Structure 1
């Protein structure tokens, strides 16, 4: 069990409506029901999310950034949700899924230069908490300023999600993917 007991059914009407729209009939994630026990935590979490349709990034770019961030932060919970939910729709190969966990930007699974730069950017942000001028130049050679800012925000948000999941010791979702073996 997680360290905070998740919200139980019947859910408050507003939460239930939001989950119906977001989860499309599936049960809400433990992360959501746990945070929703406290209005402020839930509101702040929802306000920071970047999964809306207004993203300047394509879904594949967004998901690669999320998968790499959650893999590098050891957050199998969130990585598994995103891989199970999005990888088939964005065309991630088994080798690319594995590379989000065990590879780096030079992994042969990444054949697109912009995706190599995306992986390198996530790694630089997590390793050094900033980008050098050279790293920023590489990023903006492939992504607009607006997209680059979105990538930085995705890494920051999902680093925070990893901290939340780890602190709350959330159990893995039954339908989520698991980290591949080494």
Structure 2
């Protein structure tokens, strides 16, 4: 049973219009219908979203960061939504999808530039900051605007992971599931 009852159809007009664009005809995610029960929570959530078309990152960079954050936070809900929705589109291999959950930053599934993205996520989640060497490595890969976007993505999806965990959202039926560790 849901901890907070989600919106049900018929949805409020503004929400329905936004979902028609965002979900492209698919049913809204439980995360969205749950947060939209409270105008303030929904407004804060959508106001902080970084999935707009103005991102200075490539879609692949953005998805690698999101996938790693949500995997490291144990948020199978959001990880699964993003893997199902974007992994093939951005060219993530099966080994890379597995590595978002089980691999280290230096996993050979990743080219060196993407290892920097993974290492940046890991450092921010583990230490809540980047040391000078980590910042230098990130800046060798991306410009200042992109670096800030990466930090904001980590913060936002850490928050999304906390929301999903607190609400104990049921996994979306069409979303991916965490892969088993090799040898399990």
Q: TM-score interval w.r.t. the shorter chain?
A: over 0.9
Aligned equivalent of 1:101: 101
Write the distance in 2 (CA, Å) between the matches of 1:8 and 1:52: 26
Question: Where in structure 1 do 4 or more consecutive aligned residues deviate above 3 Å?
Answer: none
Aligned equivalent of 1:55: 55
Aligned equivalent of 2:33: 33
Deviation at 1:105, TM superposition (A): 1.3
Residue-by-residue CA offset, 1:80-123 (whole Å, 9 max, x unaligned): 00000000100000000000000011111012x21000000000
CA RMSD, Structure 1 to Structure 2 (Å): 0.5
Aligned equivalent of 2:160: 161
Please say if 1:179 is aligned against 2:178: yes
What does residue range 1-182 of structure 1 map to in structure 2 within 5 Å? Answer: 1-111=1-111, 113-182=112-181
Write the distance in 2 (CA, Å) between the matches of 1:69 and 1:9: 32
Write the distance in 2 (CA, Å) between the matches of 1:8 and 1:153: 31
Question: What TM-score comes out, normalization by structure 2 length?
Answer: 0.98
How many pairs were matched up?
Answer: 181
Question: What TM-score comes out, normalization by structure 1 length?
Answer: 0.99
Secondary structure of the corresponding residue to residue 8 of structure 2: coil
Q: Where do 5+ consecutive residues of structure 2 fail to align?
A: none
Residue-by-residue CA offset, 1:22-58 (whole Å, 9 max, x unaligned): 0000000000000000000000000000000000000
